Amino acid sequence: MLPQERFAYVWLAALALVFGGYFIAVALVPAAHETATELGRITLLGAALVLLALVVGVDRLVAHFRADEDEPVITDERDLLVKQHATSAAYYVLIACMIVVGCVMPFEAGGWDIVHAALFAIVLAEVVHHGLILIGYRQGLRA
Amino acid sequence: MPERQVTNSVRTLRFLAGEMTQADLGRRVGVTRQTIAAIEAGKYAPSLETAFRIAEVLQKPFDEVFRWE
């Protein structure tokens, strides 16, 4: 398995674990979140982001120390093509979501609803990005 | 109109070229071993430049390595 492919798996797992947990917690215990102080809400969000950074960072460190010297990690044209396809699709997902969050939601919602919607949009775009990277490597891609 | 695609004989020609490994071919062409495996499996159609490099390394005419059918 290519390092890029493994990294996409780790990202998807980390996003599912951290933000899956975060959004489920916010949705299932809305009262707790609504009665929490601003500092409490920011702390919860900060903890989720730090956990995500830790998971991805630890994976990068492990990959660095386990790197095979006989097979150096290089980025070739196929990697660039897979990345390009995934990035373009994720960009459009992010733009569409941000139009909703930035142009529609302010008329109907406010505060943390918008924060969570924006966060969800970013997570969704990341899931699309890394998901398409996996599909690109697994099923093949044609320019 | 039937869908046509790029096919190749890289695997066979690699074998005939002294059982060259995918890693060796990849190193000489400038791509990863996994990309050579994807090309052989028909999961990836390489750029024209890489295709010419593969033919050059395998010392075969281009149309003997890649076909459009």
pLDDT, tens only, B11-38? 999 999 888 999 999 999 999 999 999 9
- CB distance A76–B47 less than 8 Å? no
List helix spans (H) across chain A: 3-28, 30-35, 38-65, 77-99, 105-108, 112-139
Does B31 sit within 8 Å of A78, measured CB to CB?
yes
Closest by CA to B44, choosing from A24, A138, A86, is: A138
Indicate whether this complex's ipTM tops 0.95.
no
Query: Which tokens belong to A119?
Result: 């966060």
Q: Kindly list the residues of chain B whose beta carbon comes within 8 Å of any beta carbon in chain A.
A: 23, 30-35, 38, 41-47, 50
At A9, is the pLDDT very low, low, confident or very high (cuts 50, 70, 90)?
A: very high
Nearest to A2 among B30, B32, B42 (CB): B32
One-letter amino acid for residue A44 of the chain: L
A77–B50 CB contact, under 8 Å: yes
A8 three-class SS: helix
Tokens of B52: 């010419």
Averaged confidence pLDDT in chain B: 91
**Is the pLDDT assigned to residue B62 strictly greater than 80?**
yes
Q: What is the pLDDT of residue A33?
A: 66
Residue with tokens 């690109």: A136
Q: Which residues pair with B12 in a beta bridge?
A: none
Kindly list the residues of chain A whose beta carbon comes within 8 Å of any beta carbon in chain B. Answer: 2, 71, 74, 76-79, 137, 139-143
Helix, strand, coil proportions of chain B in percent (round to 5)?
55, 10, 35
Mean pLDDT (chain A, rounded)? 87
- Residue A120, pLDDT > 80, answer yes
Band (A139; pLDDT cuts 50, 70, 90): confident
- For residue range A25-84, list pLDDT tens digits in order: 888 877 666 677 888 888 888 988 999 999 889 988 888 887 766 566 778 899 999 999
Q: Among B6, B22, B34, B40, pick the best mutation site for testing chain A contact (most A Cβ within 10 A).
A: B34
Chain A partners of B46 at a C-beta cutoff of 8 Å? 77-78
Considering only CB atoms, A142 lies closest to which of B23, B30, B45, namely: B45
